[in-house]
Chain A
């Protein structure tokens, strides 16, 4: 019975284990904050690429799309070298702190949010363009209108970003260091427990993580669907 991952997951959840709670809370904080920061930067960037025509725009779109597949360890290594004392941002003293993990996840999630929002906004702009020009709107004035009107599509984009952030382990392991009680999150715990050969516990943690991500997705989906149905 104790070797069954579902049993382990259930008892982890039911016992409200304090260290598990801390790990879950940290995971959520880091990933949500990273997605939030990436959205604040990525959505306007995506919308700008959708709206403006400039030299190198095609290359930029290709780059953003390609960066969606950036391997987490590569992002982790880049951020590690940036934040290391010997690196250009070493002064910040962020390495092996939650801040570094947020930094790395922003790097991973930003291209996803920018590339997908560019696509969604461009679709919407196709529909709205004549009306916008008729209303005499400048390009920069179009941006907030488009971002707001694409809000349901962007919610899905946000979820895609959150999925990537909460699921990755390579980057947060490298820049966070998996320090017990400080930078240990769900995914790094799973790696650690796998390393110790505690496979049921590792899988149990995996089930907890999956359940959480599913709950968040379901919640967002429900909110999105309800409002979408209202707004049409």
Chain B
């Protein structure tokens, strides 16, 4: 009995040590699923870590949740794609600085037979209007993410109030939404990165792309020292600076999936 107990205690102690060993220099970055799932972070983070010795721990959630995490002081840095929301975040004093980092674009995905005929659309506005007119099933993230917010803007621009049986709010991340769309042959708006890396396409195919309004700007935010003095502001500043530096921008440009560049650096 005593032996077993000692063994158990030793086990617990060693686990504790294992966890403690991870506590080197690191920051927690709240970001979006599109950047994480596409493999961008897996590609660029090692380069940053090599230069600075700082580990970046990515919590990949929807943009809405990422803002919430940052607002509560649970993330040292924020990299999201909702320019309007980011500017409000700065205005409200939660962040002190915002910088453009890169963009990718949204694409419209749908069943290969394209019942709303959006292949022929001349603009995003036209494409969205066509889907609404045909009342073809459309899968929406419905989770207040950056993608969801952008999608709602496009409906508004097309003069449509999306409502009815054909419009399905899933309340899920990009990947699960694509899975569901594939299962019900629905149209869906996705960021290109997630789409290119997505493995379960079934009957879905890319139908519309290229309109400038579908560009999806990512911004990096520096948290307010005043609101959250406990955060690792020095390390976060290094990360922020690196992202918009020549090295960081090059690392983003170098990331390719199947030879295709997914994110386009555009820091000023």
Contacts and interface: CB of A to CB of B under 8 A. Distances in A.
Direct contact of A and B (CB under 8 A): yes
Interface of A: 29, 33, 36, 84-87, 90, 93, 95-99, 177-180, 182, 192, 194-199
Contact of A196 (B12, B15, B18, B175): B175
Interface in B208-248: 228, 230
Given A96-B28, A195-B33, A195-B37, A179 B58 contact: yes
B86 to A, nearest CB: 20
A99 B12 CA distance: 13
A115 B97 CA distance: 51
B74 A84 contact: yes
Given A84-B73, A180-B58, A198 B42 contact: no
Contacts of A99: 19
B176 A194 contact: yes
B78 to A, nearest CB: 14
B178 interface: yes
Which interface class (under 10, 10 to 19, 20 to 34, 35 or more) fits B? 35 or more
A194 B18 CA distance: 29
Contacts of A86: 72-74
A192 to B, nearest CB: 7
B230 to A, nearest CB: 6
Contacts of A96: 28, 57, 59, 74
Q: Is the interface of A mostly helix, strand, loop or mixed?
A: loop
Interface in B146-203: 173-176, 178-179, 182, 194, 197-201
B230 A199 contact: no
B60 interface: yes
Contacts of A199: 179, 199-200
Contacts of A198: 199-200
A215 B32 CA distance: 36
A85 B224 CA distance: 14
B134 interface: no
A195 B59 contact: no
Given A98-B19, A195-B176, A196-B175, A179 B72 contact: no
B258 to A, nearest CB: 14
A197 B198 contact: yes
B74 A95 contact: yes
